[in-house]
Amino acid sequence: MNHNRVAQYKMWKNSLYKWDSYIGNRHRTEKICDPWSQKIIENCEGSSVVFNSGGLFFKDFMPDITVVEVSPCPIKSVKGMLYSSQGIDFDKEFDNLILINPISLKYNNSILDFLVNQRINRSGPSKPNLLKWLKKPGKIYLSVSDWHIYYDRLKYSVADMVAMQLRELQKTGIECEYLEITLVNSDVENGNIKMTLSTKHSII
């Protein structure tokens, strides 16, 4: 039974890419922050929500942050974390939405679909419409590994695929303010595609 709980915990942790960094920082006086996270922290103004990304990492660095994961930690409840599988319904809207390599994006072929639609996904059936949580104008800080995205890798380069994603987003008024694409294994924790999206002109 004890082993099962350990296994369950490890599996739960696996989807939260920033969890190891959070654990590593917990007892450090001088906390360590990677460049992408630092960029997010420096640019986030107001309130932020981190979804499906090990958001407690950001608790160490940001003052007004809400952490939402897909399913509860199996060993014990984690202070400061909310769970979308428990039917969370925010009245509050946030200024920023942070998504670091979210497992719920895995196998998706559309970032727009992932943001907007409440559908079954890699982490279960409970991912909400993420844009509903965001004030207008709000910012989305999204990073993902291209290995997680479903697309035709024989027809399109990673840059082509990202450009198509951004065109799809732009049709709804969601604009890309920052884009960085590096080699796929260059940043396993955060993912090699990093973008900041603005919903200033969003029609959704």
If you count them, how many residues does the chain have? Answer: 204
User: CB of residue 70 vs other proteins: minimum separation in angstroms?
Assistant: 13
Inter-residue contact 184 to 147 (CB < 8 Å): yes
Helices and strands (H and E) in the chain: how many: 6, 7
- Closer CB to other proteins, residue 107 or residue 178? 107
Residue 59 binds to other proteins (criterion: CB under 8 A): no
Binding mask 6-45 for other proteins (x = CB under 8 A): xxx-xx--x-------------------------------
Cα torsion 121, 174, 134, 203 to 10°: value is -100
Name which of residues 113 to 132 contact other proteins (CB under 8 A): 113, 119-122
H or E element in which residue 193 lies: strand 193-198
User: CB of residue 169 vs other proteins: minimum separation in angstroms?
Assistant: 17
Residues 84, 108, 165, 199: which binds other proteins (CB under 8 A)? 108
Q: Are strands 193-198 and 134-144 parallel, antiparallel or unpaired?
A: antiparallel
Q: Which residues of 49-86 are buried (b: 16+ CB within 10 A; e: fewer)?
A: bbbbbbbbbbbbbbeebbbbbbbebeeeeeeebbbbee
User: CB of residue 1 vs other proteins: minimum separation in angstroms?
Assistant: 10
Taking the C-alpha atoms of residue 176 and residue 108, their distance in angstroms, rounded to an integer, is 19
Name which of residues 139 to 198 contact other proteins (CB under 8 A): 147-148, 150-157, 160, 184-185
Residues 4, 29, 77, 86: which binds other proteins (CB under 8 A)? 4
Cα torsion 155, 160, 165, 170 to 10°: value is -130
Binding mask 88-107 for other proteins (x = CB under 8 A): ------------------xx
How many positions of this chain bind other proteins (CB under 8 A)?
30
Binding site for other proteins (CB under 8 A): 3-4, 6-8, 10-11, 14, 106-109, 113, 119-122, 147-148, 150-157, 160, 184-185
